Amino acid sequence: MEKIYIKEVNELQRAKQIAEKLDLHEHNLKEEYKRLLLNFEESIGQMRLITKVSDKIQKKLDKANAALDQKNKELDAKNQELQRTINELTQARAGRTATTIVLFLAVVLFLVEEILIEPIIETRFEGNQWTSIGSKLLIVILLKPLESVLENIVLSFLHKRLKKQKASQLVEQSTALTAHDEE
Note the pLDDT of residue 73.
95
Note the pLDDT of residue 34.
78
Note the pLDDT of residue 65.
95
Mean pLDDT by 10 residues, the chain (183 residues): 65 73 66 78 82 92 95 94 90 88 90 87 81 87 90 88 83 75 66
How do the domains of the chain map onto residue ranges? 2-182
Note the pLDDT of residue 165.
84
Note the pLDDT of residue 41.
77
User: Is the full-model pTM beyond 0.85?
Assistant: no
Q: Are the C-beta atoms of 120 and 165 separated by less than 8 Å?
A: no
State how far the Cα of 165 lies from the Cα of 168, in Å rounded to an integer.
5
- Residue 180 CA, chain-centre distance (Å), reads 21
Q: Are the C-beta atoms of 154 and 98 separated by less than 8 Å?
A: yes
Alpha carbon dihedral 7, 8, 10, 15, in 10-degree steps, equals: 140
State how far the Cα of 73 lies from the Cα of 86, in Å rounded to an integer.
20
Per-residue three-class SS string for 7-45: HHHHHHHHHHHHHHCCCCCHHHHHHHHHHHHHHHHHHHH
